Amino acid sequence: GRVPSPGVSPVSPIHVYTAREVFGTVGSRVTLSCSFWSSEWISEDISITWHFQAEGSRDSISIFHYAKGQPYIDDVGSFKERMEWVGNPRRKDGSIVIHSLEPTDNGTFTCDVKNPP
């Protein structure tokens, strides 16, 4: 393997895994799975953010946060009444469920996990 150059502080990355494509039927529900892995202990301050970028849109909005041990559904977009937190950070799971799918839910969802030292 490659030898790290001197003076570079070791960063312990979090590896996040999501399904590349998820298909759902209008009116049904879909689970957006997000699992993560870190060689370090998962801290109590772990935070998880889900973003949504509508198809054909340049902007992404944050739709969900998990922080300080609490899930928060963001009060924006059309998801707030239809979203359910099903994750468990202790099991390295940051998944959410979207209920009553609508055609406008088409787009890109990203799961971002931060594990502060």
Name the 3-class secondary structure at 96.
strand
- For the stretch 28-68, pLDDT in tens is 999 999 999 888 787 888 999 999 999 999 999 999 999 99
Q: Range with the lowest mean pLDDT among 1-10, 58-67, 99-108?
A: 1-10
Domain boundaries, the chain: 14-27+59-95+106-116
* Per-residue pLDDT at 1: 62
Cα torsion 27, 64, 59, 11 to 10°: value is -130
> SS3 for 70-115, per residue?
EEEECCCCCCCCCEEECCEHHHCECCEEECCCCHHHCEEEEEEEEC
Q: Given pLDDT bands bounded at 50, 70 and 90, which one contains residue 74? A: confident
Q: How far apart, in whole angstroms, are the C-alpha atoms of residue 66 and residue 41?
A: 18
The predicted structure's pLDDT at residue 10: 55
Q: Rounded mean pLDDT of 86-95?
A: 94
Mean pLDDT on 98-103:
94
pTM (2 d.p.): 0.83
Q: Which one, of 71, 76, 74, 67, lies nearest residue 86 by Cα?
A: 71
Question: pLDDT tens across 25-35, in order?
Answer: 999 999 999 99
Say what the pLDDT of residue 94 is.
96
Beta bridge partners of 108: 53
Work out the angle at residue 107's Cα, subtended by the Cα atoms of residues 113 and 14, and round it to the nearest 5 degrees: 15
